[in-house]
Homo-oligomer: A and B are copies of this chain.
Amino acid sequence: MKLGEGVEAAIHCTMVLATLGPGETLPAAAMAEAYGISPSYLLKHLKTLVAEGLLESVPGPNGGYRLARASDRITLLDVVLAVEGRAPAFRCMEIRQGGPVKLPKAVYAKPCGVNAAMLKAERAYRAALAETSIADIVADFNAEADPRAVEAVCAFAERYRRPQG
């Protein structure tokens, strides 16, 4: 039960991309510098987000990344699943069938109760993540965070944003 470090980066990058105007892009190198992380490694995760349909990439000079759809239609769940994979955290290996005594397959027709309980909990987890959109997080940040932090993010986006794409 441990999420990769790239999830945090992916969420923050998605947030800052949400502050851009329509069509504007931001290069990966700028975001990597802004958060003090490896550009190559961030690129790896951004690539995944593009493949998952959350972001769009524009190659060439003045290229960069932008959201593939409005920020209020991208949830934290979308980002987490894109980076970590859609497979459930608990993967039932059916060890209940692993013993030496082999019963007919029909005995195990009903799904394992343990698996059911674990998946139920994971549904609750995902539902909670799905309740919060990137737009919500950004709005909360702008409203609640220290004005200097908000100003710093705006200045950063203003400096590195690329028009149109």
Contacts and interface: CB of A to CB of B under 8 A. Distances in A.
Nearest to A13: B95
B76 A121 contact: yes
Interface in A120-147: 120-129, 132, 137, 140-141, 144-146
Interface in A73-104: 76, 80, 84-85, 87, 89-93, 95-96, 98-101, 103-104
A125 B120 CA distance: 9
Contacts of A96: 12, 35, 149
Given A34-B99, A90-B3, A113-B140, A128 B132 contact: no
Given A121-B129, A137-B114, A144-B113, A95 B149 contact: no
Nearest to A97: B36
Contact of A8 (B85, B109, B114): B114
A9 B95 contact: yes
A159 to B, nearest CB: 11
A interface: dominant SS: helix
A128 B124 contact: yes
A14 to B, nearest CB: 10
A1 B4 CA distance: 7
Contact of A114 (B12, B104, B144): B12
Contact of A98 (B36, B149, B156): B36
Interface of A: 1-5, 7-9, 11-12, 15, 33-37, 76, 80, 84-85, 87, 89-93, 95-96, 98-101, 103-104, 106-110, 113-114, 117-118, 120-129, 132, 137, 140-141, 144-146, 148-149, 152, 156
